Amino acid sequence: MSTAAAPAGSFSPSFQLLVCGTLVAAVLGAAHRLGLLYRLMHKEPGSLGPKGPYLWTSPRHPPNRAAMETLGVPCFLGGMARGLLGRNHPLHIRQNRGAALKKADVVLLAGVVCDFRLSYGRVLSRSSKIIIVNRNRKEMLINSDMFWKPQEAVQGDVGSFVLKLVEGLQGQTWASDWAEELRQADQQKEKSFREKAMMPVSQHLNPVRVLQLVEETLPDNSILVVDGGDFVGTAAHLVQPRGPLCWLDPGAFGTLGVGAGFALGAKLCRPDAEVWCLFGDGAFGYSLIEFDTFVRHKIPVMALIGNDAGWTQISREQVPSLGSNVACGLAYTDYHKAAMGLGAQGLLLSRENEDQVVKVLRDAQQQCRDGHPVVVNILIGRTDFRDGSIAV
């Protein structure tokens, strides 16, 4: 992308205005390097392809479900790549990523960067052959030669690269035991989630069970917008987007407050889709007033708030480390009533109507279809589902 500094004009001198040109087409890399990767993939049977937030960067050559099925290797999907294979695809492995990466012979990092989400590369095995592809060379090589080392690093468009790789591997088959091993581990993890969903919590509703019911209720024409910490982190394990480009989240830095804006854009771009927003109660504080916008402009979106009266993701690490919960406590605020005050529809879910979760979700859907923005305030308790996760 070409950039040139422009006069600041009336802008504050703290800001520099950049005029951006058209994104130039990225080169895939030399043909002999693709040939090397073909041979590498042919040689090594246990290959794994995590797909990351830059998978859909090429408007002309986006990888599609058919291409991934032709490649035929199990993969993890993250960020905007969630939903690429639809729901419950046999090649899509959703749990136990770290263990799988440790055992893989070949790992293709397609748009993924080795930041904190991959423990800066430490989660990768030294014996694995790592192929990494990214438009941005600096991001592509972050923390390399410190905790990990790529066998091949290709600067170029990720989507186009994957399609070219698939073309070169036409007819290649892989041993099924590797994918089956990962699927069985996936199923065991899912079983443990179901067990956690049945565990009682000290007050209100079990968030794991609530999100399982959201997953069962979510329609095929939905777009998921997620904005939060603990509740959204739990949802990432339990709720599946129904198709490509149907998941919008705050990104690697957890920039809370994006939810309402994302929902607005998603509904205007795809008016026939049902836009479901999953908010933490802390994050919802940034988006509440936008329900005035949704009402005035008649934009029907549906917000589900996991309300546990706190900044729980921060509290989980802060209390053991510092011995204090200061600034992490919130209240079981009546967000549904606040939304009603702005003209939206408001519904409440708590222990008093825990057998009505699906009914309330269906009611919210219907009100949305009738043209009303809806807020469902879901009072939830605390679980150990995300103990050990990175918070700060």
Domains (range + CATH), the chain: 31-182 (3.40.50.1220), 198-379 (3.40.50.970)
pLDDT attached to residue 332: 98
pLDDT attached to residue 256: 95
pLDDT attached to residue 105: 87
pLDDT attached to residue 53: 37
pLDDT attached to residue 338: 98
pTM reported for the whole predicted model: 0.86
CA distance 82 to 92: 10
280: helix, strand or coil: strand
Closest CA to 267 of 374, 357, 377, 362: 374
DSSP codes of every residue in 78-127: -GGGTTTT-SS-TTB--S-HHHHHHH-SEEEEES---SGGGGGGTTS-TT
Residue with tokens 């809370």: 256
pLDDT attached to residue 54: 33
Residues 6+ apart with CB under 8 A from 11: 17
Closest CA to 339 of 315, 304, 312: 304
378: helix, strand or coil: strand
pLDDT attached to residue 12: 53
For strand 106-110 and strand 129-134, is the pairing parallel, antiparallel, or unpaired? parallel
Q: How many CA atoms does the CB half-sphere of 286 hold within 13 Å?
A: 15
> Exposure of 71 by Cβ count < 10 A (0-12 exposed, 13-18 middle, 19+ buried)?
buried
Rg from Cα positions in the chain: 22
- Cα 321 off chain centre by: 28
pLDDT attached to residue 176: 79
CA distance 241 to 77: 11
pLDDT attached to residue 175: 74
CA distance 225 to 247: 6
18: helix, strand or coil: strand
pLDDT attached to residue 52: 42
Closest CA to 338 of 376, 392, 310: 376
What type of residue is 7? P
pLDDT per residue rounded down to tens, the chain (392 residues): 444 444 444 445 555 655 554 444 444 444 445 556 666 665 555 656 654 433 333 334 456 788 888 888 888 998 888 998 999 999 999 999 999 998 888 899 998 999 988 999 999 999 999 999 998 999 999 999 899 999 999 988 888 888 888 888 877 777 778 889 999 999 999 999 999 999 999 999 999 999 999 999 999 999 999 999 999 999 999 999 999 999 999 988 889 999 999 999 999 999 999 999 999 999 999 999 999 999 999 999 999 999 999 999 999 889 989 999 999 999 999 999 999 999 999 999 999 999 999 999 999 999 999 999 999 999 999 998 888 676 65
